[in-house]
Structure 1
């Protein structure tokens, strides 16, 4: 189940969709804290591999989005 969650988050971000913790927590029947940890894992991965993108929270989008670093 974790693999499905992690891949779903990654897929949403790569497709320029927002990631909303509450919605995903409900969909996967886990806590928002679990989704937060998944997002943190993605952030660490992107940082460790020196990717030119980052995950940040957008109040306008009401969720997390992938942003280019430039």
Structure 2
């Protein structure tokens, strides 16, 4: 099963933006996500249409299971 980490961030303009991370660590925790977002906010590392990230709305692991129909 493949997994991706989705982090939905709140922007200063009231909108949201999502970062997708392929193959995240299996033991990723809320503290890891919060530390990442805190650093992004402090450094204004991400600007989306000129609007900086102000926090995290949600983060979740999305699992995908591929089933072959024609091999």
TM-score (norm: length of structure 2): 0.34
Pick the structure with more strand per residue. 2
Larger Rg: 2
Higher normalized contact order (CA 8 Å, seq sep 6+, divided by chain length): 2
TM-score (norm: length of structure 1): 0.34
